[in-house]
């Protein structure tokens, strides 16, 4: 079990939850996780990130963290409505 725990946690954190309509990862970081296969195969998303100047990339990431507050509030509203 201990050998697969990290994979199980990855799956749980990156699977959309019906109760919130989002993934725990997205509600934490403001964007979807980059899957290991996306990195290995240089997906379009990874290629675009690599093309950005570091300062611009960090500013985009910070903007996403600011915007995630609204998404968190929507998830909270969804949870409250379900009670």
Q: Where are the domains of the chain?
A: 5-82
CA distances from 73 to 20, 46, 55, 61, 82 (A): 10, 29, 29, 19, 14
| This model's pTM is above 0.75 | yes
How confident is the model over 63-78, as a mean pLDDT? 92
| Statement: residue 83 has pLDDT above 90 | no
What mean pLDDT comes out for the span 8-34?
A: 94
60-83: b (≥16 Cβ within 10 Å) or e = eeeeeeeebeebbeebeeeeeeee
């Amino acid at each position: 079990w201990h050998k697969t725990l990290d994979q199980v946690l990855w799956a749980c954190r990156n699977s959309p939850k019906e109760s919130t309509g989002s993934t725990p990862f997205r509600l934490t970081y403001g964007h979807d996780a980059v899957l290991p296969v996306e990195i290995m195969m240089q997906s379009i998303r990874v290629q675009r990130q690599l093309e950005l100047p570091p300062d611009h990339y960090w500013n985009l990431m910070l903007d996403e963290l600011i915007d995630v507050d609204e998404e968190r509030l929507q998830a909270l509203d969804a949870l409250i409505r379900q009670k």
